[in-house]
Structure 1
């Protein structure tokens, strides 16, 4: 465990994220104060834990908007750095060194840079995304593109500000420019997208932290759940009348845990109540092959679904069993072919790099097997250790039950070689990157990337990650986002996660949305 004592109760999220990036397999604990000041947080610290002390001193100039920040990490002292907090409307956002004027970082960025340099020197590692935390890389590139900036300006900014590698900068630029092209016909000002959450799954996967409930125990209430979704759809029909519905995404959980007649009922109601004449993409996640039947595929096709997911995660049966997937590779292949037979010409597949015990050779094998199927869209995920997942609990105990040969924590590890195998494999299938996002505690400090054939890119995936259009989300555990077009401001409201509580409080869930969009 990494134990970090902080001199101030500021920037804890960013400091924690940086330490996790350099020490991905360690539990990281932040304690404000000196050793012995907080006995509750210190009671289980052992002699085997690595202790670090971070002392940062912020000297502010008059007005509190600028100043100098000095950092000391344990016995490693970094030079001071000047900062300028623009959000405080101070004057003088630059300084001159040897006649060269430079823009100043804000206090948080200045601190992150100093910490990154210390940890990089200490570990001998440079991270592919540098000290970038909590910011979408493509959004940085897109903002500069929107202002007429050149690729070289993007490169300089991402290198100077965040120490991002050349390879990742080029990837960000490439994706940002492709996103801009894909979204050129989206109605930002007068449009919206719709998300419908189905929080039921055959089983809960090892790595999953999404809201999901075992369908076997909840099948008797699915009908009532759909009735509540219909009430939310009624609200959307009233509140967004005359607006452009650009995309529909039915996710989960596993939407294909619904029966064929339930799929018909729900999706048919969407068409009945909403104007779907201008919908550019209608996706239904069908990710679990053990939940797919021909009748369900026919129901989705009948209701206008034109994009689905059939997700392997890996093409190794032993790993599928370990992570809690009930299907095997043969079922995945059968489901994919069945979907093709039913006329689906835009099929996404997801894989995860860094699954327990898997090596570069396992990734290469998975990519070779996927190439035989020829998906239209491939999403390559780096394993993220999500709070609330069973995987997080297992890592906390530093053991993997039922996987004795490779049960060490280090067996959960994505590598640069794995990322390159996946990227080259996608290119070999004629798929190019079109969206990218990162998560906290992501394996190897890498990213999740979507690759697609021409004309097959998932529009909703870009919209949800770039947050450039309002998304109305229905169902338990979903989050609605309102994007204010004139200034890019975003406000959110969420539905409760517990499915029974959601149904009991459905009127309150609708009122939350009504208040969020009250001036429409």
Structure 2
């Protein structure tokens, strides 16, 4: 389906709204000079001072739907007003056509909680913000409640931030195998084994260099996060080398949280968990994704669900008291009953954090390539899955503390982190809210330098692939040095020379 605009161009945003209804179908803004033929959306805007005449036409399968309105618009931002009105008009037409009513309304951004916080910071009351989201953006009451509950938790976490705070991210972009739904740049251990030692050596050098840069910039480390990939896909000796390097070069005495994604149970051993425990790590992830063995096999997980339970119990015996477990709603071949079983099994185990993801399929994932699955077949029960997880977790004392969305997420839903009181995952909030600087080490890492007293963000990109990271390593160190120049122009104390 193609989106045409006349008068003003809102094609990108309206295509995003249309994609909420036509999952798996290509919806794109029209190219310049292209003419409507069949299966199209036409948005017409006649903007005048203080008001606009708007119309939306949808033609699909030889049927036509139309809507038109004359609406008031502000002088300050008439395009925003027109775009939002057209989005609502299109939403209502497509709801009629498809019978689908996305619960986040016309919101297509990835951080709805940030919008809530921004409005509250502008002085609006909670009732006024709720009314705006409900009436202007068509957000359901259920999602409003979730957004406000999450905002309260996030706000408390963000209030701990200081101008000199930063987080350290360490990338281990290796996995035993690639899961069908995964779009991250990660590499099979079998294919990249010969690079491992050299990669770890370079990574240790970058960690040491980053520590010196952070010290010179006057930054104070608050959270550490080992992600990937699967950090425990490396050996216990390699893992110890990295954790020792972090401890040697960074002051960990004021760190609030230290997380390592243990992730897949087929990479977890008692020896690795002991290394993690001895390093002072305060939080780990052991991720089942589902407790259905058939679904695990279909998505490329080469372990039974019981292996997750065994690793979880082993971690408990070693003294870990803050464990996160991820599950995914909408995995191919999963059912509502199976997903409910997964949620109930998690509640029996009782981890401190449970993160409920909704499947999002990107072009680089195998699900959208040779092994593509009809995305429309993955929807339907997904909303019920997410609703069930939210209800059961909150009934059992878990609270939502961070929330984000992705553009290709099923049923226009969300990913939500839930926790027992006092067990929030701090790094998750800081990376999603872009509240303070993140210094990233390793292949695929993206450092985000945040202005301590403003909204400016500068990104420093590491090379994605391990072989490129190794062969061009000196360039990585040179890029990291840009951190000092950034803090010279954005000083922590707020004074510029």
Please, what TM-score do these two structures have when normalized by structure 1? 0.86
RMSD of Structure 2 on Structure 1 (CA):
2.5
Q: Check if 1:425 corresponds to 2:401.
A: no
Q: Check if 1:479 corresponds to 2:466.
A: no
Change (3 A) 1:144 1:224: same
Change (3 A) 1:354 1:413: farther
Change (3 A) 1:66 1:224: farther
Which residue of structure 2 aligns with residue 17 of structure 1?
A: 16
- SS of residue in 2 equivalent to 1:519: helix
What displacement does 1:449 show? 0.7
Q: Tell me the distance in 2 between the aligned counterparts of 1:120 and 1:413.
A: 15
Which residue of structure 2 aligns with residue 304 of structure 1?
A: 280
1:111-510 aligned within 5 A: 111-187=86-162, 189-241=163-215, 242-393=218-369, 396=372, 398=374, 410-411=377-378, 414-510=381-477
Q: Tell me the distance in 2 between the aligned counterparts of 1:471 and 1:373.
A: 32
Give the stretch that moved more between structures: 73-82 or 252-261: 73-82
Q: Tell me the distance in 2 between the aligned counterparts of 1:83 and 1:150.
A: 24
Q: Tell me the distance in 2 between the aligned counterparts of 1:12 and 1:214.
A: 40
- SS of residue in 1 equivalent to 2:68: coil
- SS of residue in 2 equivalent to 1:78: strand
Q: Tell me the distance in 1 between the aligned counterparts of 2:299 and 2:109.
A: 28
- SS of residue in 2 equivalent to 1:120: helix
Q: Deviations over 1:276-305 (max 9, x none)?
A: 211100000011000000000000111111
Q: Tell me the distance in 2 between the aligned counterparts of 1:190 and 1:355.
A: 41
Q: Tell me the distance in 1 between the aligned counterparts of 2:316 and 2:95.
A: 48
- SS of residue in 2 equivalent to 1:430: coil
Aligned residue-pair number: 480
What displacement does 1:61 show? 4.8
Which residue of structure 2 aligns with residue 404 of structure 1?
A: none
Q: Deviations over 1:474-508 (max 9, x none)?
A: 11112211222323232222222121111112222
Gaps of 5+ in 1: 43-50, 86-90, 95-103, 399-407
What displacement does 1:514 show? 2.5
What displacement does 1:12 show? 4.0
What displacement does 1:6 show? 2.2
1:2-151 aligned within 5 A: 3-7=1-5, 10-32=9-31, 51-61=38-48, 69-74=54-59, 75-80=64-69, 82=71, 91=75, 105-151=80-126
Which residue of structure 2 aligns with residue 100 of structure 1?
A: none
- SS of residue in 2 equivalent to 1:391: helix
Q: Tell me the distance in 1 between the aligned counterparts of 2:173 and 2:381.
A: 28
What displacement does 1:33 show? 5.6
Change (3 A) 1:494 1:66: farther
Please, what TM-score do these two structures have when normalized by structure 2? 0.90
Q: Deviations over 1:67-122 (max 9, x none)?
A: 5544333333322455768xxxxx5568xxxxxxxxx8444333322322221222
